[in-house]
Amino acid sequence: MMRRFKIYSLLIATVCLAPSGAWSQPAAVKQAAQSVFTLTTFNADGTIHSSTHGVFTGKDNEAIAMWHPFDGAQRAVVIDMQGRQHEVEAMLGVSELYDVCRFRVQGKALKSLPITTSDEAPASVYLVDYSPKKPTVTRLTPQRIEKFMTSNNYYVFNDVDISSTALGCPIVDDAGRLLGIMQRPENGGQAFSSDARLTTTFEINGLTLNDRTMRATGIRTALPDDEQQATLTLMIAAQQTDSAKVAAYIDEFIQKFPTSTEGYNTRANQYLRQGKLDLADATYGLEVKRAEKKDQAYMDYAKAVYHALLTGVDSTYTKWSLAKALELAQQAYSLTPLPVYKHLQAQILFSQEKYQEAYEQFMELQKTALGNYGEVFYEAAQCKIQLKAPLAETMALLDSAVNVQKGPASAPYVLARARAYDATGEYRKAFVDYLAYDSLINYRGTHDFYYTKYRCEMKLHQYQIALNDIAHAIVLNRTEPTYYAEMASLQLRINQPADAIKTCNLGLQITQDYPDLYIIMGIAQCESKQKEAGLLSLQKAKELGDSRADGLISKYNK
């Protein structure tokens, strides 16, 4: 009798310690299995990067899983409990510290688990494994429960109880509410689960796509819900080279904000970069039709047509013309009479060679807020040049362009005035403006600027400054043989023949077909009592067709 009692007691104890069978599970816990999925991430070459599990939770097919399977992966898919595959569409947030992330998958609405709202951690929890045929539910008692971020729970489990196949699977309470997912450090260690509520604190803003952690995966970030922040994301994303990812951002933006101009304009600009003007035109048509701000839509359309024609994107696309651009800009202005819309009209008129009409509009714009900037004065000056107006009228407008703004903003107009002075022979005034421009741009001009400045200085016999500037031009563009020839010629002029020879040799490393370099080097060599080498250099210039070579050979061959 005693033996039977012991056997019976042992049987009861065994049943109590075993994982809960389906017959003893709360209904809500059993239903939680419908939200579990497998997750597979892939490398760029299509090979598998990592495999784990995760769980759907929240709205719009959102889900959570461990982060480390995504780190370094290019794409990911999930397979739900019904065996359907879904592409991971976008990342919604990451905690690298707690190795958990939130993301969204494509497809029809999927069953998701509600996340617990209670700060109080249950004494025992349920681990719901992934199994399409018959999910296994195991009741677990955490070894300890810690708090982090004030109210979140951090569950630590006896590691021997946790199989590697359970990683990523949900941990729920007896009401089927999600507490977290089963986790283990990537390099091994004790099983744990960080509170699923942590993932609800993730926020996406306009700069999230540049976050170091987010950039560790090839899967794009989701767009923020705030339109201004989403617009910032779209602007940054549009500069990326991954066209598929850019297209996905644009699609999501238009879906979220169908009456905003930004999504359509960005898509049309992508088409323009690809030379697909017909698709760009159709997209601008949609923008005009759907956008809430019709004036902005017409303006976007007008600017696109205008700039495409200026840059010659596709001369065979006859549907776009300056007349069409002008009409679109006029429609924008008729809806909302903003000076910037009138400004575009004036620019288009200038491109149509209607200089008097353009001039009158630029002058009218000087009475608006645009008159606080130099551009409309400069553009009016360009009209005067085309109309062959007296020089004094042009210079007066350029003076206004320079004086209406101070500091670096005036730099392009200072340069324009310098060139105008240079072209009319007022070299000293041009030199002063070139110096001012160089200072305004913190001495970071282009190589052609320093070459232009050098030429002006040569006319003023400012040889040392000119030598510095032509050397600066060479530093900025080491492949232009003209600069070497100019520098060597100047060195020869100021009696530095040895330096002239060195400069010519540097130029000849770029090209051996530039006769000026041989002419200058030949003269420098002959003047330096290197007659034989000099005559060889002059002979090379002759072979390249330089008509000066014969006379110089005769001179130095005496």
Could you list the pLDDT tens digit for every one of the 558 residues in the chain?
444 434 344 333 333 334 444 446 788 898 999 999 999 999 999 999 999 999 999 999 999 999 999 999 999 999 999 999 999 999 999 999 999 999 999 988 899 999 999 999 998 899 999 988 888 899 999 999 999 999 999 999 998 889 999 999 999 999 999 999 999 998 888 999 999 999 999 999 999 999 999 999 999 999 999 999 999 999 999 998 888 999 999 999 999 999 999 999 999 999 999 999 999 999 999 999 999 999 999 999 999 999 999 998 877 899 999 999 999 999 999 999 999 999 999 999 999 999 999 999 999 999 999 999 999 999 999 999 999 999 999 999 999 999 999 999 999 999 999 999 999 999 999 999 999 999 999 999 999 999 999 999 999 999 999 999 999 999 999 999 999 999 999 999 999 999 999 999 999 999 999 999 999 999 999 999 999 999 999 999 999 999 999 999 999 987
State residue 121 phi and psi, 5-degree precision.
Answer: -85, 135
- Residue range(s) in the chain whose domain bears CATH number 2.40.10.120: 22-201
Quickly list DSSP for 135-158: --EEEE--SEEEEETTTEEEEE--
CATH architecture of the domain formed by 478-558: Alpha Horseshoe (1.25)
- Strands 152-156 and 144-148 come out as antiparallel
Nearest of 483, 488, 512 to residue 500 by alpha carbon? 488
Three-class SS of 221-268: ECCCCCHHHHHHHHHHHCCCCCHHHHHHHHHHHHHHCCCCHHHHHHHH
Report the C-alpha gap between 209 and 248 in whole angstroms: 13
H/E run at residue 399 = helix 391-403
CA distance to 183, 454, 469, 525, per residue, from 489 (Å): 74, 13, 14, 13
Q: Phi/psi zone of residue 99: left (φ > 0), alpha (ψ -120 to 50 degrees), beta?
A: left
Report the C-alpha gap between 41 and 47 in whole angstroms: 9
Give me the numbers of helices (H) and strands (E) for the chain, helices first please: 21, 13
CA 434 to chain CA centroid, nearest Å = 34
Report the C-alpha gap between 65 and 100 in whole angstroms: 6
Report the C-alpha gap between 116 and 301 in whole angstroms: 50
pTM over 0.75: yes
CATH top-level class for 22-201? mainly beta
- Residue range(s) in the chain whose domain bears CATH number 1.25.40.10: 223-335+343-351, 478-558
Matching CATH number, 223-335+343-351, of 3.30.70.100, 1.10.3720.10, 3.40.50.720, 1.25.40.10? 1.25.40.10
Which residues, 6+ apart, have CB-to-CB distance to 520 below 8 Å?
485, 488, 489, 492, 500, 504
Report the C-alpha gap between 33 and 166 in whole angstroms: 12
Report the C-alpha gap between 476 and 465 in whole angstroms: 17
Report the C-alpha gap between 514 and 367 in whole angstroms: 53
Quickly list DSSP for 431-488: HHHHHHHHHHTTT---HHHHHHHHHHHHHTT-HHHHHHHHHHHHHH-TT-HHHHHHHH
- Say if CB 321 and CB 351 are below 8 A apart: no
